[in-house]
Amino acid sequence: MLMHLKSSITQCGREITDQELDLILETVKMFPKLSQRDLAETICEHLGWYTASGRYKGEACLKLLKKLEVGGALKLPEKRGRFSARTAGHRPNGQDSPQLLFYRKQPGGA
């Protein structure tokens, strides 16, 4: 399956070379604890994959990573939820202090 992928990957108009694919696969193996977004940005940096405004082509890279996962070439880390923070709570020694409480945003919610 990987040999088939190596010969025919194009993502957002960019032809992915065998060397670039090897770099992508190595990066995913090297950093298994990174989020999917952080992996995509790291790969964009290594490949010099930027938009005209100089930003990483993160969405295109994420699509490529998912395509590679579906093709069996790699296993992405589990998708992490997005969080928003609020402060509240107490220190273990009894003094009041701010602590972050995280709430998952509900799908389709604001």
pLDDT tens for 37-61 read 999 999 999 999 999 999 999 999 9
| Domain limits for position 9 | 2-70
Question: Is residue 18 assigned to a domain?
Answer: yes
pLDDT tens for 8-40 read 789 988 999 999 999 999 999 999 999 999 999
Question: Is residue 60 assigned to a domain?
Answer: yes
Question: Is residue 85 assigned to a domain?
Answer: no
pLDDT tens for 76-85 read 998 877 654 4
Q: What's the chain's Rg over C-alpha atoms? A: 19
- The torsion region of residue 102 among left (phi > 0), alpha (psi -120 to 50) and beta comes to beta
Helices and strands (H, E) in the chain, number of each type: 4, 4
Question: Is residue 95 assigned to a domain?
Answer: no
pTM above 0.85, yes or no: no
- Report angle CA 97, 102, 103 to the nearest 5 degrees: 140
Question: Is residue 23 assigned to a domain?
Answer: yes
Tally of structural domains, the chain: 1
